[in-house]
Amino acid sequence: MAYVKTRTDFSVTLRSDLAKDLDIQILDIEQANFPTTTIVNIYSQPRAKGSIARRHDASVRLQHLHLPQGDPVVITGDWNQHHPDWSTSNRPPSSKTRQLVDWLRESGYTLLNEKGITTYIEHRDRGAATVLDLTFANPAAIALDITKEWTVDEDLGCGSDHHALRWIIDHGSVEIENLTGSKYNFKDADPREWKEAFTNELSKQQDRWRELADLNQARSPDELDNDVRLLTDAMKSATTVAVSEKKPSAKAKPWWTESLSDASSERITLRKQQQAHKQRWGAQCEVINRSLRKATNYFRRLFKHERREWITKTLEDAMPDDIWGFRNWSKGSRNYPSPAIKRQNQEPAIRHEDKCDALRDVLFQPPPPLNNNDPPDLTEPQHHDKEHVLLTRTEVREAIYRHSTKKAPGESQQTFSTVRWAWEASENIIFALMHHCVQTGHHPRLWRKAIAVALRKPNKPDYSEPRAYRLIQLLECLGKVLEGIVARRLSHFVGRGDLVPPNQFGGRPNSCTNDALLTHIEDIQAAHNHGKVTSVLTFDISGYFDNVNHPRLLRELRRKGIPLPLVKWVASFLSDREASVCLDGHRGV
């Protein structure tokens, strides 16, 4: 298993198409326009007593893999083999080890370990020290200096009997624009400071907001697009001024303290002293050994104590809204780099952009066309259209405060906290914007841009299949407010006008799955009372909403007499949408 710290200029791909092996992990690392670096992480299991299948371990299977030839390749891991090229002793190697070394030499790989530098120390009293962890690099990796500052790092072991092999892969820190913006700490922000900064930004465009506030003067779609852009920029500027950016802990453990750091350092120092004593005198020092055991036990007790104290204090200080979030502590979720994504009639997608395109092609397919399905006329109202009522401030306020402030924001990073603050600071501007959008029947272009985050569906056997992912779209929170206003009005017309059959329970107010189940049970019991048997046919239409034909939907809305401004808004909402796929923490084009 490999743990990867996310960086905006790196992408990591698990190459399960090259090796489906529990003891061999292959990762491709891409940085800007530089050649892809392949890291092969290997674990060659030690020989068990009485084992007869020793020669079929990972180091043998490695020799049959088709690794890249011209690009940098680094093979590293726990080899559990001895050879005069790296071991502390010069005992003859086994035939299998000789075969492995011959294959590495023929393939041009260079050993980075210095002979005799220990990488493994037994925790047992015998304290044997040897070299088991090795790194080999091919000519391309050597030429590009892929393994900068390679070293055996004793401080990174953190209790393991193996030392860490550390090096730097960096062709030069290439700064890439973070398209999703900064992550802000809204929890500790001061709403008054934000509102003041927001008001100052709005004052720079007073004439425009005065025109917008005139509810009797119609606004064109282009004008509304510019209004939304300027309003979003004002919110972003206020957030930059009044809200601090999140700075995750390097330890990623909130209970880690200076005392734990000191205790860990003491253990590392004692291990180094023990190793130096054995190298000089040929045996371990019992005094150091007792001190090391004592320091190790103290570190473990202290770790448990600090973690328990932090958890207890966090629970004691928790507010009612925080209680449900504590359940996540027991989930143990992990984020894994995506493997190569399969493509129809093509090689698997390996590069990040290609993987995003592969997901988009499968999961964002356009609805199938229908014959004789021209779009309806959206220029003039019909005589049977239902009455269109002007938007009210109560509708907008309820649509804003109906959403949780913990909902994920869109590209601008403006959460529902800032939307609420903006409403409280300048209610007239927000209301006027929503009013004109509904009256004009226009959903602003900025609110039609989404970030589609690719999430793994749980318990899928093969995550190289695009269908093993679902795309969750992150939209601007202000746009969600407008969507909620229109959706509520459409639901009102559906319920009041009986526009859908009474046995449809989804997508209508005051009905849910429980109602469907109760109706189903009632039908079964009624049939049973009359001596009849009920047969039930159930089916699930895959991708039903994704495949709704847009012109047919608009024609149905017109036929049902939905007011023309709402039908025009739905048409605008469905047209010219943009979505960039975000996979492995990186956003595609």
For 40-83, what is each residue's pLDDT tens digit? 999 987 765 454 444 468 888 898 898 988 889 999 999 988 99
The answer to whether 444 and 230 are in contact (CB under 8 A) is: no
CA 115 distance to own-chain centroid: 42
- The predicted model gives 576-581 an average pLDDT of 91
- The predicted model gives 289-307 an average pLDDT of 89
Which of 57-66, 93-102, 216-225, 312-321 is predicted most confidently? 216-225
Q: Is 50 exceeded by the pLDDT of residue 366?
A: yes
Give the residue carrying structure tokens 């393991």.
160
Q: Is 50 exceeded by the pLDDT of residue 177?
A: no
Is residue 422 classed as helix, strand or coil in its secondary structure?
helix
CA distance 239 to 416: 12
CA distance 397 to 418: 14
pLDDT at residue 171, rounded to an integer = 66
Q: Is 80 exceeded by the pLDDT of residue 125?
A: no
CA distance 257 to 263: 10
Token pair recorded at residue 32: 């800007």
Smallest CA-to-CA distance from 468 within 482, 479, 457, 452 is with 457
Which of 69-73, 349-353, 382-386 is predicted most confidently? 382-386
- The predicted model gives 376-386 an average pLDDT of 91
State in Å, rounded, how far the first CA of the chain is from the last one: 29
Residue 473, strand partner residues? 452
427-440 and 564-574 helices cross at what angle (nearest 10)?
A: 90
Q: Which residue has the higher pLDDT, 331 or 418?
A: 418
pLDDT at residue 172, rounded to an integer = 58
Summarised one tens digit per residue, pLDDT across range 488-508 is 999 999 888 878 888 888 777
Which of 45-54, 376-385, 562-571 is predicted most confidently? 562-571
pLDDT at residue 509, rounded to an integer = 73
Specify the pairing of strand 449-456 against strand 578-583: parallel
The ranges assigned to domains in the chain are 10-168, 191-246+341-511+569-587, 258-331
Residue 556: band (very low, low, confident or very high) from pLDDT cuts 50, 70, 90: very high
Smallest CA-to-CA distance from 111 within 76, 152, 65 is with 76
pLDDT at residue 251, rounded to an integer = 46
pLDDT at residue 52, rounded to an integer = 47
pLDDT at residue 250, rounded to an integer = 46
- The predicted model gives 85-97 an average pLDDT of 86
pLDDT at residue 166, rounded to an integer = 85
**Number of other CB atoms surrounding residue 561 within 10 Å:** 18
pLDDT at residue 249, rounded to an integer = 52
- The predicted model gives 82-89 an average pLDDT of 87
pLDDT at residue 225, rounded to an integer = 96
pLDDT at residue 55, rounded to an integer = 46
Q: Is 80 exceeded by the pLDDT of residue 347?
A: yes
CA distance 444 to 413: 17
CA distance 365 to 546: 8
Smallest CA-to-CA distance from 225 within 484, 436, 486 is with 436
pLDDT at residue 123, rounded to an integer = 63
Token pair recorded at residue 28: 């491709």
pLDDT at residue 229, rounded to an integer = 96
Summarised one tens digit per residue, pLDDT across range 22-50 is 889 999 888 777 788 999 999 987 765 45
The answer to whether 488 and 395 are in contact (CB under 8 A) is: yes
Mean pLDDT of the chain, nearest integer:
85
Using a pLDDT cut of 70, give the percent of the chain over it: 90
Q: Which residue has the higher pLDDT, 178 or 523?
A: 523
Summarised one tens digit per residue, pLDDT across range 241-294 is 999 887 655 445 777 888 988 888 888 888 888 878 877 887 888 888 889 889
Give the residue carrying structure tokens 């940085």.
31
Smallest CA-to-CA distance from 482 within 240, 226, 224, 233 is with 224
Would you tell me which CATH number, out of the four given (3.40.50.2300, 3.60.10.10, 3.90.1150.180, 3.30.70.270), belongs to the domain 10-168?
Answer: 3.60.10.10
Summarised one tens digit per residue, pLDDT across range 419-451 is 999 999 999 999 999 999 999 999 999 999 999
Q: Which residue has the higher pLDDT, 69 or 360?
A: 360
Using a pLDDT cut of 90, give the percent of the chain over it: 41
